[in-house]
A = this chain, B = another copy of it.
């Protein structure tokens, strides 16, 4: 019998050979392909679901994979061993999630309100010139004659020319009889010559904006001559195989060689998405002369290959706040090797470039009169309060409950996730991303569900299910007590979709961590919630976060609803703005120094506030007057 089996992975079309008996999840990871698995290969989270075509995988029986789904060709990779040649289709995460992670309507509709300017004044510039031929009477070098023309055309003086330009300059100038384009990049207050090529050419002047999330990475290609976004692409961070959250990745990096591995995975992730964006935009990587990256502090360190261990050891110190422009070739990015790379600056170990860049996409830095709160709730929740004059910030460890992690029924905002829930009469209505049968609930769906159950008395203020009110929806099994969201026959998996009391407790801990961090942050600077003129919310909830429901569960403070704005992926929008104008780059670089960073671990009041937030909406119901009014029992739900 053959010792090795060939596995083709779709949609990547990559083919690999593995020893018979290799675990399929291990095989995917060896092949360097992304596949999520939260439970660590125990067969319980159901996230490593793949479709096996043209062959058969010997999968073990599992509660997470009922026979019916298995019969349709699906298998949990972690429970499958490779016994023959296979074609395995991995989930097309990029296509499923893109609508949820890129940009937002707020950003599109409020160009004149956000802090960053929309002028086109990027850190790189292209200029077409006609370099005069040399003569015996003007024997200036090629470089000097070119610099002279660039100065005449733009008023800019090049203080520096890249070595790669010198290498081709004489040839390009003579081949074209001097009709060339020069590409300049700004560094500090000086300009450098970073490329020269024949004119006319098909080479554009493009930029890559990139939000490097712990879970999801999103890239955009931008035309730097007119500011248009040419394409957007999202995918899982390939580092996921090394750990779900920043803490587990920092721990992973401690062993020899693994920091390098994490860096390589980060670069591979960006490169894969960037290449996809370039294909879609009809350009090549060579056209990209500027890269703007925004990520949390750990992601920024790992991308640069910097040891992240001191981020998680008291007193939680990052290596850098501001990294000066780097060259793409230093990082191994598959764009023009001379492309300038800007990394959004870091405030502290848990307030990183995703927040500093993100602020550009909010109105906060624009107005000195209006004080606003900015909440970016991902696995870590980051908060900023302030205005044009002052800024204070802190971070809390919220957990991934609103991003689909840590709950039995949670999912990221991908196809098959319930993104909105409504209680209508005696029933329960929901909307599934992509239509079809539901697989689970994403953040916005969970908020709706929890709020509805709470307001209607199906769960009490501590998150316990009221068996009498839940009626036929009450489920008791090995996972404890739960609330039936949808019955087996109507779900994708063919098994009951249940929100357990454990899930509820997890959601409450997450919303409690965010709310209590807000409370401590405001108290620390002597403000009350009602002094906030606006609350801007960003992060991984999905596109349809219902503010009313978020207040009902105590995630957001009980303020007039028109003060709330859902801003979507501000980190990406900020990275885009940095690419667009050098003024935005200078603005964001200034932010990091301006912010007061409050370390919650050093705040004695945080624990008390947190404990008070572990109820729906809060132990002090007086903080939520509009919710208090609603707390009257409704009719029993029917099936």
Contact = CB atoms under 8 A, between A and B. Distances in A.
Contacts of A348: 139
Given A161-B324, A171-B307, A602-B136, A319 B188 contact: no
Q: What copy number does this chain have within its complex? A: 2
A19 interface: no
Interface string A134-150: 11100111111000000
Contacts of A190: 188
Interface string A518-558: 00000000000000000000000000000000000000000
B319 A169 contact: yes
A599 interface: yes
Contact of A319 (B141, B305, B322, B330): B141
A143 B345 CA distance: 12
A306 interface: yes
A323 B166 contact: yes
Nearest to A164: B330
Nearest to A307: B170
A324 B170 contact: no
A505 interface: no
A305 B167 contact: yes
Contact of A320 (B141, B188, B319, B326): B141
Contacts of A170: 306-307, 309-310, 317, 319
Contacts of A143: 319-322
Contacts of A443: none
Contacts of A321: 140-141, 143-144
Interface residues of A, number: 47
A423 interface: no
Contacts of A166: 304, 306, 319-320, 323
A599 B139 contact: yes
Output the residue of A134, A319, A597 with the most chain B CB within 10 A.
A319
A310 B188 CA distance: 34
A346 interface: yes
Interface in A280-328: 304-307, 309-310, 314-324, 326
A174 interface: yes
Nearest to A331: B163
Given A171-B307, A314-B136, A161 B599 contact: no
A628 interface: no
Nearest to A188: B159
Contacts of A237: none
Contacts of A324: 159-161
Contacts of A601: 136
A407 interface: no
A28 B174 CA distance: 38
Given A320-B142, A324-B159, A134 B306 contact: no
A202 to B, nearest CB: 25
A306 B171 CA distance: 10
Interface in A26-44: none
A349 B139 contact: yes
19 contacts: A134-B315, A134-B317, A139-B315, A139-B317, A140-B321, A141-B318, A141-B319, A141-B321, A142-B317, A142-B318, A142-B320, A143-B322, A160-B188, A163-B330, A166-B320, A167-B304, A169-B319, A170-B307, A171-B307
Given A136-B601, A142-B320, 11 more contacts: A136-B315, A136-B602, A139-B597, A141-B319, A141-B320, A143-B322, A161-B320, A166-B320, A167-B307, A169-B320, A174-B310
Interface of A: 134-136, 139-144, 159-161, 163, 166-167, 169-171, 174, 188, 190, 304-307, 309-310, 314-324, 326, 330, 346, 348-349, 597, 599, 601-602
